[in-house]
Amino acid sequence: MEKAIVLDTIKKLGALDDIEISLLVKKNGEIVASAGHDVFISLETFGIMSATIFGAANTANEHLDKEKPKKIIIRSEDGDIIIEAVDKDFILVVRSKRTKEIKKIMRNMNKAIKHLEGNLGGRK
């Protein structure tokens, strides 16, 4: 894993307007890289909860005999959480302010994922 490139990718994503927190998380909940910070939440807890949500959606789809989820969007009045698979081992998690630009955020996440895929050991 190219740690400097991974961290730079997460930091660039976290620096975008409307994004409060960006994380690269192993599917076991371990945070690999993060940018942004919310004083009201532990990043470790946020990473574990995000991995749990993604894992629960995966389990639900398996029981329904459906494909694995690629993305989960949680919308609330004050913002959104977007959890997206990077490969079989990692998820990208973003917490954004409530915005009409969610599609722009998802496009930037897709760019980050493409960049990360080439720097995490080539796993898909």
What Cα–Cα distance (Å) separates residue 55 from each residue in 7, 20, 88, 121? 24, 23, 12, 22
Q: Compute the distance between CA of residue 24 and CA of residue 55 in angstroms, rounded to an integer.
A: 15
Provide the CATH number for the domain around residue 90.
Answer: 3.30.450.30
* CA dihedral sign of residues 10, 108, 92, 21: positive
The answer to whether residue 32 sits within a structural domain is yes
The answer to whether residue 82 sits within a structural domain is yes
User: Model confidence at 3, in pLDDT bands (50, 70, 90)?
Assistant: confident
The answer to whether residue 104 sits within a structural domain is yes
Residue 19 φ/ψ region, left for φ over 0, alpha for ψ in the -120 to 50 degree band, beta for the rest: beta
* Tens digits of residue pLDDT in 51-80: 999 999 999 999 999 999 999 999 999 999
Q: What is the helix (H) or strand (E) element at residue 113, kind and residue range?
A: helix 102-117
* Report field, pTM of the whole predicted structure over 0.85: yes
Q: Compute the distance between CA of residue 109 and CA of residue 23 in angstroms, rounded to an integer.
A: 11
